[in-house]
């Protein structure tokens, strides 16, 4: 098995299956509470605001801004040797204040990235076939 094939991949479990299925359709979805309307990431069985168990998977625009980021220069897994350096970004999604998601930012060196930069979702294939939500700088 090559190191690329050995790179960890997401395992749809604990109710996240709809998220990964949506990603394979190139859609970014998060849970929305059906009682209070609050969006949430990460998926959870209960709303953190009202404790409701009712939710749907809401389609998002995929747009947001860089809240924080770091450049990874040391691989934490043998399969990551070919990927360094890479950027891990925390994106505040446009649909709701404080709705944030961690992912990778592709196509921009860290030296050219700024907090507050406009980004949009893209999807990058994992060798196992699963599409992974990633972000790129939004072209104006």
Helix %, strand %, coil % of the chain (to 5): 10, 35, 55
pLDDT of residue 3: 45
pLDDT of residue 6: 61
27 contacts: CB under 8 Å, gap ≥ 6: 59
pLDDT of residue 31: 97
Structural domain tally of the chain? 1
Residue 10: inside a domain: no
Ordered mean pLDDT values, 10 residues apiece, the chain (140 residues)? 59 86 97 98 94 98 98 88 92 98 96 97 92 94
Residue 7: inside a domain: no
Q: Which range marks the domain in which residue 74 is found?
A: 17-137
């Amino acid at each position: 098995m090559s190191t690329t094939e050995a790179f960890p991949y997401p395992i749809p479990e604990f109710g996240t299956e709809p998220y990964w299925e949506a990603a394979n359709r190139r859609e970014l979805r998060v849970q929305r509470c059906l009682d209070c309307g609050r969006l949430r990431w990460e998926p959870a069985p209960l709303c953190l605001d009202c404790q409701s168990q009712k939710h749907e998977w809401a389609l998002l625009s995929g747009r947001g801004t860089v809240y924080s980021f770091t450049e990874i220069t040391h691989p934490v897994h043998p399969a990551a040797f070919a990927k360094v350096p890479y950027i891990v970004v925390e994106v505040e999604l446009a649909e709701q204040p404080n709705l944030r998601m961690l992912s990778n930012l592709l196509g921009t060196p860290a030296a050219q990235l700024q907090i507050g930069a406009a980004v949009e979702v893209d999807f990058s294939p994992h060798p196992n076939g699963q599409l992974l939500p990633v972000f790129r700088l939004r072209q104006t």
